[in-house]
Structure 1
Amino acid sequence: MSQLSRVALAAVASAVLSNASSVAADAAGGLSVTPAVIERTAVRGDATSVQLVNSTSRPLKITVTPRPWTQSRGGAVAPNRHKTLLARVGVDARSFTLAAGGRRVVTLKVKSLPSSGSLYGAIETIGLPTAAAKKNGITAAYRLVSTLRLNPPRSRRRLALRASAPRVSGRSIVVPVRNAGNTVAPITGDVRIKGALGSRTGTVRATAVLPGSTVDLGLGSVKGLPSGTYTVTVSLVQDGKRVLRSSRRLRVR
């Protein structure tokens, strides 16, 4: 499963191929989906389209499925393959065969929205050769993951962050932050770590956190910090506004 290298919910597109001979067979082409990122204001009934192009030499059986994201504590996001967003996002052509060299436009329609007024997910497109020869029990296939980002109207945008106590994870200091709002606008900020022997300051790297998810924001390394008790003060900004200020004790052993 592809992961976003940045948690700004940028699109991922990866072809999953079983073996070198399959790659060579389709080296002159592949399956593509455009646009890779669909970003709009969330409006019930709104429709948008993506275009699929099969530039391989073989027909492909296509399946298009909107899915919710999952996000790890480290910030990486990936489609949740156990769930779909079909109750909220309709697809006019979920499954069809795309001829070699063919293209097709698929329309997505917003059927309903969560009470939060926003919706973030992935559009997973699978392309399987219709006459694929299995080798070692594996069939070559393409899997493309693009981004669906339906932002709340500005009048309904809600910024709310919740921070837990900082802790040491490995050799880093992190603070768990939950996005209790309804936007994926990146979170940035400043941090001050103060102890008996002085203090150090730093910045929080811009990180996008899905609404309802919790991510451990890195605050710096414990390298060079003597054992003892420190006060960690974090000030976080989202969408240009200071949303949270937290000051907690941290024990470094």
Structure 2
Amino acid sequence: MTYIGRFAPSPSGPLHFGSLIAALGSYFQAKSLQGKWLVRIEDLDPPREVAGAADLILRTLEAYHLHWDGEVVYQSQRHSVYQAQLDFWLNSGQAYYCQCTRKQVKAMGGYYNGTCREKMIETSDNCAIRLRMTHPVECFNDKKHGQFRVPSDLAKEDFIVKRRDGLFAYNLAVVVDDIDQGVTEIVRGADLIEPTGRQISLYHILNHPPVHYVHLPLALDKLGQKLSKQNHAPAIDINQPKPILIDAMQFLGFELNKEIKQSSVSEIIDWGIANWTIDQLPDVITEGS
């Protein structure tokens, strides 16, 4: 079976050092296995999007010679696919409308206790849609971190698949898209390891074999905070990519000699494909340390 990996950024800003790590890790893993590498723009949350960010992300990937296979998929163009799945679940009873607010869930102890599960609410007005958790996943394997345990209350919770504001939930969209695109393994940052259990449960509910997972070490700043758009991580240079590319590859555990560092961006990427291994990954590195 052909390996298919993907990189799926949200257009809430330009790529930063942490997102470059995720792009490189997923790219090297796919290409080292003679597989395909897809790019998907996860533009599910319009209030968080930055105008022009999606195009800038694609131009940045091209500047770093991370060339994707096939056409770029935009989640904003797939709403009908997500809604069709929700309608099927609502009709079958696998999903239901829920009126509970965040404040009410917090009063339940932080995990939703199923208050609306048997109410048979028929209107979507001011409601979220929750999925009956019939296949809870309390443990899964990560190729980098090994066995990862999910808190039991979290694993068993009927989680939201469509928000009260009408936006589709990340967990729903990402699994539906990965199945439709034939993704076989997901390589991404360790900040996304917690929702993995829920996503695996969705694979089971959808009667599809789960994919494999590799969660990469997070790039942290000198204060120990994750490099992210939320923490105002600076955009990576699109005009002079080589210095940042070298830093990112060293972060990922590559040992680059002088000759490699003096090569072109394209040659450095090709060398990375030929020399990539998951075993080289560190646990955590602080940027600039």
Where on the TM-score scale, by shorter chain, does this alignment land: which range?
Answer: under 0.3
Say which one has the larger Rg.
Answer: 1
Q: Please identify which structure carries the higher helix content.
A: 2
TM-score normalised per structure 2:
0.23
Larger RCO: 1 or 2 (CA < 8 Å, sep 6+): 2
Q: Please identify which structure carries the higher strand content.
A: 1
TM-score normalised per structure 1:
0.25
